[in-house]
C-alpha cells in the first residue's frame, strides 16, 4: 500500500487520496461465537471492504443438540418439552406445531375449543417473537428506547404465559391430541386487556422509528433480498413476504381453523431491511385483530380429543 505524505491541515487533499489511492486489502473479521451481540451462538467469518461485508461464512453448529436423535428414543409426548427449546423466543408455537404434525400422522382431529386456544397461543407467540425482533432491530440501528417499550410488553406476555402454562419460558403446553389443561378463569379477559394496551404502544413505536430520518438512512436500500433470491434460497415467513412474495400458510393451507378469522397479510415491495421492519410491525397489528376474533368466538367444550388416549401407545422398535 502506497503512503503519501500530506500536511495535517489539508483535509481536502487527504480525502482525495483516501478515495483514489488508499485501496487496501479486504479485512477478515471473526464475529462470534461469543460476541456479546450474537444472541444465538454462531460464528460469522466476514470479509470487509471498509464497512461493507463482501463475503460471509457462517459457522452454525454451536447450538446443535441433535433433537432428532433424542426424539428417536422417545415417545411423542415425551418430546414436547424439547420443542420448547427449539425457539425460546416464542416457545409455545413449537409445542403446537409438533403436536399438529403428530396428530396428522395419527389422523387425530382435535375439538374446536382446542384449535381456538392453539391459534390464540400461536398468535401470542408471534407477538413475543416480533416484539423482541423489532426491539433489538431498532436497538441495533441505534434507537435504544424502542427496546424498552417492546420489552415491557413482552414481560406482560410472560406473565400471561405463566398463568396459562405455569412457566414463563418452557411452556410445554401442547399435548398430542390436545393441550395440557384448559385456560384458567378470567385469562381471556387479561389477554384482551393486554392487546388493548399493546396497540397504542405499537402506534408509539411506529411514530418513534418508522419515519425517523436516522432509521430511514440505515435501513432503506440496505440488505436487499429480491423475490427471486428469496425463493432460490428458501426464505420463509416475514422475510419472504418482505421480498414481495405473498406466501402465508395461514391463508394458503389454513390449519387449526385459521380460515374463520379475518386478517390481512402484509407484503413488502423492495425486500430491504426497512420492508422487513414494516412487515413485522404490521403483522403485530394483524395478530391483534386475530386475537380479538378468537376471544370473541371462543367455543365451549373439551380442550383435548377423547380418542387420543387410544392412539398413543409406546413405540415398539427402538434404536
Partner 1 sequence: MTTEAIDNLSQKLEYLSNRPSLDYPAFNCPQDRILDCLQYCKKELGFDLLCDVTAIDHFETSPRFEVVYHLYSTRNPAYVRIVTPCVGDENPEAASVTGIWAAADWHERETYDMFGIQFTGHPDLRRILMWDGYPYYPLRKEFPLAGHEVDLPAADVVERTGVKVLPAPMMGGPFHAGQTGPMSKREPRADDESWTETKLQKELEKPHKPRELSEPKE
Contact positions toward partner 1, by CB under 8 A? 60-61, 64-66, 68-70, 72-73, 104-105, 107, 231-234, 236, 245-247, 252-253, 314-319
Smallest distance from the beta carbon of 58 to partner 1, in angstroms? 9
In this structure, the dihedral spanned by the alpha carbons of residues 233, 215, 127 and 262, taken in order and rounded to 10 degrees, is -80
Complex with partner 1: residue 78 or 196, whichever CB lies closer: 78
Complex with partner 1: residue 136 or 231, whichever CB lies closer: 231
Complex with partner 1: residue 103 or 153, whichever CB lies closer: 103
Smallest distance from the beta carbon of 279 to partner 1, in angstroms? 16
Complex with partner 1: residue 235 or 294, whichever CB lies closer: 235
Smallest distance from the beta carbon of 99 to partner 1, in angstroms? 15
Smallest distance from the beta carbon of 69 to partner 1, in angstroms? 6
Complex with partner 1: residue 28 or 59, whichever CB lies closer: 59
Smallest distance from the beta carbon of 60 to partner 1, in angstroms? 7
Complex with partner 1: residue 6 or 315, whichever CB lies closer: 315
Amino acid at each position: 500500500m502506497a503512503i503519501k505524505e500530506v500536511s495535517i491541515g489539508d483535509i481536502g487533499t487527504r480525502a482525495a487520496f483516501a478515495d483514489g489511492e488508499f485501496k487496501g486489502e479486504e479485512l477478515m473479521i471473526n464475529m462470534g461465537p461469543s460476541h456479546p451481540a450474537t444472541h444465538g451462538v454462531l460464528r460469522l467469518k466476514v470479509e470487509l471492504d471498509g464497512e461493507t461485508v463482501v463475503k460471509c461464512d457462517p459457522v452454525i453448529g454451536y447450538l446443535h443438540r441433535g433433537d432428532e436423535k433424542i426424539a428417536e428414543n422417545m415417545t411423542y409426548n415425551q418430546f414436547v418439552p424439547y420443542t420448547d427449546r427449539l425457539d425460546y423466543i416464542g416457545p409455545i408455537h413449537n409445542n403446537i406445531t409438533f403436536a399438529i404434525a403428530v396428530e396428522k400422522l395419527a389422523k387425530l382431529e382435535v375439538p374446536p375449543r382446542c384449535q381456538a386456544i392453539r391459534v390464540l397461543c400461536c398468535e401470542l407467540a408471534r407477538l413475543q417473537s416480533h416484539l423482541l425482533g423489532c426491539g433489538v432491530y431498532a436497538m441495533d440501528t441505534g434507537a435504544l428506547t424502542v427496546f424498552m417499550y417492546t420489552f415491557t410488553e413482552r414481560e406482560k406476555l410472560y406473565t400471561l404465559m405463566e398463568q396459562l402454562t405455569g412457566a414463563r419460558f418452557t411452556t410445554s403446553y401442547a399435548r398430542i391430541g390436545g393441550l395440557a389443561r384448559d385456560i384458567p378463569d378470567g385469562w381471556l379477559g387479561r389477554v384482551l386487556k393486554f392487546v388493548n394496551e399493546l396497540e397504542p404502544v405499537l402506534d408509539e413505536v411506529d411514530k418513534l422509528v418508522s419515519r425517523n430520518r436516522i432509521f430511514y438512512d440505515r435501513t432503506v436500500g440496505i440488505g436487499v433480498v429480491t423475490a427471486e433470491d428469496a425463493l432460490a434460497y428458501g426464505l420463509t415467513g416475514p422475510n419472504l413476504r418482505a421480498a414481495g412474495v405473498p406466501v402465508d400458510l395461514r391463508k394458503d393451507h389454513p390449519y387449526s381453523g385459521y380460515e374463520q378469522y379475518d386478517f390481512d397479510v402484509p407484503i413488502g415491495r423492495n425486500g430491504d431491511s426497512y420492508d422487513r421492519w414494516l412487515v413485522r410491525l404490521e403483522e403485530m397489528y394483524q395478530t391483534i385483530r386475530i386475537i380479538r376474533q378468537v376471544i370473541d368466538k371462543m367455543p365451549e367444550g373439551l380442550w383435548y380429543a377423547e380418542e387420543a388416549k387410544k392412539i398413543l401407545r409406546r413405540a415398539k422398535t427402538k434404536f
